[in-house]
A and B are shown apart, each in its own frame.
Chain A
Amino acid sequence: AAGVIQSPRHLIKEKRETATLKCYPIPRHDTVYWYQQGPGQDPQFLISFYEKMQSDKGSIPDRFSAQQFSDYHSELNMSSLELGDSALYFCASSLGAGRWNTEAFFGQGTRLTVV
């Protein structure tokens, strides 16, 4: 079965550079979530989109932005990268509206290292 695809799997950037992470949800899923997991930490919710509109916002820095496109894939854009941005970034997708028993399926994550 198709799963959530994230690209790239690994990314190394220098401080102050920009990075773009991509997430391709499971087909027909209309909701995408982004999480950031620092070393030894629990995942922290960044932002989510439902039907291409931002549905919730968590602890996403102002230097980051994200959007969901017409094909439901999502991109997380990160600018002015800092060493503290080094983390594993997870994308998850789910079916949204009115489906009370839905669950989020996670991608393998993108490991971003800022040097």
Chain B
Amino acid sequence: AQSVTQLDSHVSVSEGTPVLLRCNYSSSYSPSLFWYVQHPNKGLQLLLKYTSAATLVKGINGFEAEFKKSETSFHLTKPSAHMSDAAEYFCAVSPRAGNNRKLIWGLGTSLAVNP
């Protein structure tokens, strides 16, 4: 069985300071891992994904995440927050093999960026 735990339901940072959104996963086999961002009343946009290539994954808008198998973590980071980063962030896991790639989601982390 697969599951995702986002350790913080809400994170607040000041503009220009680093962002860390934490995600731990549980999977009985090597998974694919994803971070999605959702702005208010908008759809889900893929930030980045890990699918067994480089463990440090770079995504859009300056975000990156590092896959750490020993810690079963896939934390999302950004060196310097921007006001436009304020949104809901979802970590998700999916099986890497097979025809069914349904995503199992974390509960989301709401990121607030203060001026």
Number of A-B contacts (CB under 8 A): 69
In the complex, which residues of chain B have a beta carbon less than 8 angstroms from the beta carbon of A106? Answer: 36, 43-46
Size bin of chain A's contact surface:
20 to 34
**Distance in angstroms between the alpha carbons of A55 and B106 in the assembled complex:** 22
In the complex, which residues of chain B have a beta carbon less than 8 angstroms from the beta carbon of A42? Answer: 90, 105-108
In the complex, which residues of chain B have a beta carbon less than 8 angstroms from the beta carbon of A97? Answer: 99
Residue interface mask B38-66, A partner, CB < 8 A = 1: 00011111100101100000000000000
A31-B101, A56-B102 as given contacts; A108 in contact with B49, CB under 8 Å? no
Residue interface mask B13-54, A partner, CB < 8 A = 1: 000000000000000000010101000011111100101100
**B96 at the binding interface (Cβ < 8 Å):** yes
Size bin of chain B's contact surface:
20 to 34
* A55 and B100 contacting across the interface, CB-CB below 8 Å: yes
B contact face: mostly helix, strand, loop, or mixed: loop
Partner of A108, one of B42, B96, B101, B102: B42
Residues of A within 8 A of B (CB): 31, 33, 35, 41-45, 48, 50, 55-56, 58, 90, 92, 94, 96-97, 100-109, 111
* A104 and B43 contacting across the interface, CB-CB below 8 Å: no
Residue interface mask B73-115, A partner, CB < 8 A = 1: 0000000000000000010001011011111111110000000
In the complex, which residues of chain B have a beta carbon less than 8 angstroms from the beta carbon of A58? Answer: 102
